[in-house]
Amino acid sequence: MLKKLLKYDLSAIFKLWWIMAVSSLGLSVIGGLCLKTLTSMEANEISPIIVIMAALGIVATVIGLSAFLVVTMILIYVRFYKNFFTDEGYLTFTLPVKRSQLLNSKLISTFVATIATYVVLIFDVILLLAIGIPDFFDSDVWKMLGHFFGVTVKEMGIYFFIYAIEILLLALLTSLSSMLLVYICITLASVIVKKARVITAIGIYYGATTVVTFSAELVYLFGIMFLGNTITNLSASATMGAIALILLVLTVFIAAIASALYLLEYYLLDKKLNLA
C-alpha cells in the first residue's frame, strides 16, 4: 500500500513541479545569454541600455532559480496540509492503511522532490555558466579543483571517504529533521486551533527554529572551544581520527533527534488528531 500512496503523492507534486523545472531551465538559458553578452563584448562596445538589460536578466534568473526551490518547498508542505488537515483529510484517514504509512509516504515524496529540485538547480547553474562563459569547461578552475581533490585524498587517505560519508549522512538526517519539524508545526497548529491554522503553524515554526538555532549556536561555540583545547596537541593522524569520531557522535545525535521528531509526529497523527 505504501507504493500506491507514494505514487499518488509523487504524482500530485510532480504534475506542477515539472513545469517549474522546465521554466528554470529556460531561465538558465536566458541568464546564460545575458552573461555571455556582458563577457563577450568589449566595454566600449556595449550600450548602457544593453548592460542594464543583461544585468536585470541575470538578476531575474537568480531570483527565478531561488523561487523554484522556495515554491517547491511550499508545494510540498501545502500538499501535506491539504491531504491531512482539510476536508480531504477525512478521506485520507479512512483509507485502509496505517498512519505510519501515510507519514512515510509524505517523507519519501518530500525527499524525492527536494533532491530532484537540487539536481535541476545544479544543472541550471552549470548550463548558465556554460552558455555565459566562453571555454567554461576548459578553464583552469577545473584543473585546480582536480589537483586539489587529488592532493586532499592523498593526504587524508581513508579519512577523506569517512568524512564524506559522515557529512552526507549528517546532511540527510538534518534535512529529515527539518522536514519533520515543519510537519509537527503544521500538525500542532491543526490540533490546537480550528481557524488560522497556517498563521499558527508559521508562528510555531519560527518559535521552534529560534530555540533550535540558539541551542545550536551554544553547542557550536562550546564545541569549538572544547575541540580547540582537545586536539591542539594531537598528531595529524590522531586529529583526523578525533574529527571522524566527533562527526560520528554528531551523526548519532542528529539521528536521535530525527527519530524523536518522527515518533512525536506519528503520535500526534495517531492519538491527537481530531477529525470530528
Amino acid at 186: I
Domain extent for 24: 1-137
Q: Which residues lie closer than 8 Å to 266 by C-beta, 6 or more apart?
A: 99, 100, 103
d(CA 39, CA 220): 42
Task: Judge if 133 and 30 occupy the same domain.
Answer: yes
> What domain count does the chain have?
2
- Burial readout 31-45 (b: 16 or more C-beta within 10 A, e: otherwise): bbbbbbbbeeeeeee
Owner of C-alpha cell 563577457: 39
For residues 70-75, average pLDDT: 90
Torsion of CA 54, 60, 66, 70, to 10 degrees: -170
Task: Judge if 252 and 183 occupy the same domain.
Answer: yes
d(CA 5, CA 11): 10
Q: What is the 3-state secondary structure (H, E, C) of 150-216?
A: HHHHHHHCHHHHHHHHHHHHHHHHHHHHHHHHHHHHHHHHHHHCCCCHHHHHHHHHHHHHHHHHHHH
Q: Which residues lie closer than 8 Å to 197 by C-beta, 6 or more apart?
A: 81, 85, 186, 189, 190
* pLDDT tens column, 128-155: 888 887 776 666 666 676 666 666 666 7
Element (H, E) at 136: none
Q: What pLDDT is stored for residue 220 in this prediction?
A: 65
Top-confidence residue, 61 or 155 = 61
* pLDDT tens column, 28-45: 999 888 888 877 765 556
Task: Judge if 88 and 26 occupy the same domain.
Answer: yes
Task: Judge if 131 and 161 occupy the same domain.
Answer: no
For residues 44-50, average pLDDT: 69
For residues 89-113, average pLDDT: 84
d(CA 33, CA 22): 17
Q: What pLDDT is stored for residue 45 in this prediction?
A: 62
202 has pLDDT over 90: no
Task: Judge if 123 and 175 occupy the same domain.
Answer: no
d(CA 198, CA 185): 10
Task: Judge if 112 and 175 occupy the same domain.
Answer: no
Task: Judge if 118 and 175 occupy the same domain.
Answer: no
Enter the pTM of the model. Answer: 0.80
Q: What pLDDT is stored for residue 222 in this prediction?
A: 63
270 has pLDDT over 90: no
Q: What pLDDT is stored for residue 259 in this prediction?
A: 92
* pLDDT tens column, 217-235: 676 666 666 665 666 666 6
Task: Judge if 129 and 144 occupy the same domain.
Answer: no
Q: What pLDDT is stored for residue 236 in this prediction?
A: 63
Q: Kindly report the average pLDDT of the chain as a whole number.
A: 81
Task: Judge if 88 and 202 occupy the same domain.
Answer: no
CA distance readout (Å), 129 to 53, 95, 138, 236: 18, 48, 12, 38
Task: Judge if 131 and 145 occupy the same domain.
Answer: no
Residue where a domain terminates, one of 102, 137, 172: 137
Q: How confident is the model at residue 20 (pLDDT cuts 50, 70, 90)?
A: very high
| Percentage above 70 pLDDT, the chain | 80
Residue where a domain terminates, one of 105, 122, 137: 137
For residues 256-261, average pLDDT: 90
Residue where a domain terminates, one of 107, 137, 167: 137
Task: Judge if 270 and 150 occupy the same domain.
Answer: yes
* 255: Cα within 13 Å, side-chain hemisphere: 11
Task: Judge if 104 and 195 occupy the same domain.
Answer: no
